[in-house]
């Protein structure tokens, strides 16, 4: 081999190595921390920490910021929060769509949870209230759900107040003989589920899936007809009651990923990871179960998940850094 050819090859290899070093060094693109929102429930915290763990593996500095369901969008518009990777659109009122209208935040597609929300009840209640799961069966069973604070009406355990008023709207719209009583937190809802199953007591509550509860406790959903439509929420003529709105089933949330618009410019590779990021509800439920049911630390369980699922998330990193 000629000396000239050897020299040429060495130069080419040196340039290739330099290019690789430049690409590797380009991430993280900024020393500023990516700030990820933490909301009030474990599932969202798991999603946030999984995403943050991926970012940390790429060399980014990550900070987690506790944020309320509504105020988080103001912070995101101002760049004080970088991303909220699990937005349940039915829990955030007009705050989220109004923030999108300002074009200071962007939506990056569905998270992939395969979610559902509604009024849940223990299956054993079908022996007490044989009309279940139909709504008519629940109405006929209102006396069994009455409490001193709601008598003579039955009690529906609603979401915490910060999560919206879906149950109260449905009760009013359908003129149901119930009172929607907000739970204090996700933990308070779970405590009521555990207590009800222990005593085989009646309970109806606003709940959701994915959640580890459904793997442990046999529960079903009240069937509410007609199903939700946008017209039902605005036009009294739609639905069984011609003088009310919201007289139909619950709207089902789109669970989406959102980010501050400046994220794409400041941390482009991280932004691209977020676009591809998917978190299956079954997987999330397994992690949440370890935390809420077994009492394990969130960070430790998330670290285990990331290590055992590298084949899932590392391709997102490869794609994102290649296009950066």
How far apart are alpha carbons 141 and 242 in whole angstroms? 25
Q: Which helix (H) or strand (E) holds 310?
A: helix 310-322
CATH 3.40.190.100 residue window(s) in the chain: 116-233
Per-residue pLDDT tens over the stretch 2-26 = 444 334 433 343 433 333 333 444 8
pLDDT of residue 10: 37
d(CA 139, CA 171): 11
* pLDDT at residue 206 tops 50: yes
What is 116-233's CATH number? 3.40.190.100
Q: What is the pLDDT of residues 82-94, one digit of tens each?
A: 999 999 998 888 8
pLDDT at 142: 98
Residue-wise pLDDT tens digits, 143-179: 999 999 999 999 999 999 988 899 999 999 999 999 9
- Reply yes or no: is the peptide bond before residue 98 cis, omega within 30 of 0: no
| Residue whose C-alpha is closest to residue 60's, from 226, 294, 228, 273 | 273
Quote the mean pLDDT of the chain.
91
What are the φ and ψ backbone dihedral angles of 171, each rounded to 5 degrees? -60, -45
DSSP codes, 257-295:
EEEETTHHHHSHHHHHHHHH----HHHHHHHHHHHHTT-
Residue 188 to residue 183: CA distance in whole angstroms: 6
Residues of the chain with CATH 3.40.190.10: 3-112+254-322
Name the pTM for this structure. 0.78
pLDDT at 275: 98
Q: What is the pLDDT of residues 54-82, one digit of tens each?
A: 999 999 999 999 998 889 999 999 999 99
User: Considering only CA atoms, which of 254, 315, 279 is closest in space to residue 107?
Assistant: 254
What is the chain's length?
324
CATH value of 3-112+254-322 in 2.160.10.10, 3.40.190.10, 3.40.50.970, 3.50.50.60:
3.40.190.10
CA angle, corner 177, sides to 197 and 134, nearest 5? Answer: 60
- The DSSP element (H or E) to which 109 belongs, if any, is strand 105-110
The tens digit of pLDDT for each residue in 103-148 reads 999 999 999 998 999 999 999 999 999 999 999 999 999 999 999 9
- The reported pLDDT for the residue numbered 305 is 98
CB 183 within 8 A of CB 160: yes
């Amino acid at each position: 081999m000629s000396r000239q050819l050897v020299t040429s090859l060495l130069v080419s290899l040196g340039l290739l190595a330099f290019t690789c070093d430049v690409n590797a060094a380009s991430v993280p693109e900024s020393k500023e921390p990516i700030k990820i929102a933490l909301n009030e429930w474990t599932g969202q915290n798991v999603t946030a920490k999984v995403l943050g763990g991926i970012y940390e593996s790429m060399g980014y500095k990550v900070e987690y910021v506790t944020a309320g369901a509504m105020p988080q969008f103001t912070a995101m518009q101002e760049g004080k929060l970088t991303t909220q990777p699990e937005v349940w659109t039915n829990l955030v009122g007009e705050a989220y769509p109004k923030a999108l209208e300002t074009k200071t935040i962007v939506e990056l597609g569905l998270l992939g949870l395969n979610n559902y929300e509604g009024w849940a009840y223990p299956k054993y209640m079908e022996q007490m209230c044989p009309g279940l799961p139909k709504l008519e069966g629940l109405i006929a069973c209102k006396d069994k759900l009455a409490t001193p604070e709601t008598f003579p009406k039955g009690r529906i355990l609603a979401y915490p107040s910060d999560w919206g008023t879906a149950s109260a709207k449905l009760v009013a719209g359908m003129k149901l003989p119930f009172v929607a009583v907000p739970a204090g937190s996700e933990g308070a809802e779970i405590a009521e589920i555990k207590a009800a199953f222990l005593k085989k007591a009646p309970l109806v509550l606003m709940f959701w899936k994915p959640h580890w509860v459904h793997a442990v406790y046999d529960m079903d959903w009240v069937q509410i007809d007609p199903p939700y439509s946008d017209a039902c929420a605005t036009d009294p003529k739609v639905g069984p009651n011609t003088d009310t709105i919201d007289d139909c089933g619950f709207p089902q949330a789109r669970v989406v990923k959102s980010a501050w618009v400046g994220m794409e410019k400041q941390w482009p590779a991280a932004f691209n990871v977020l676009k591809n990021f998917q978190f299956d509800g079954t997987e999330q439920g397994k992690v949440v179960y370890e935390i809420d049911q077994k009492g394990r630390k969130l960070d430790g369980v998330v670290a285990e998940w990331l290590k055992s699922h590298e084949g899932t998330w590392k391709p997102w990193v490869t794609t994102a850094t290649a296009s950066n």
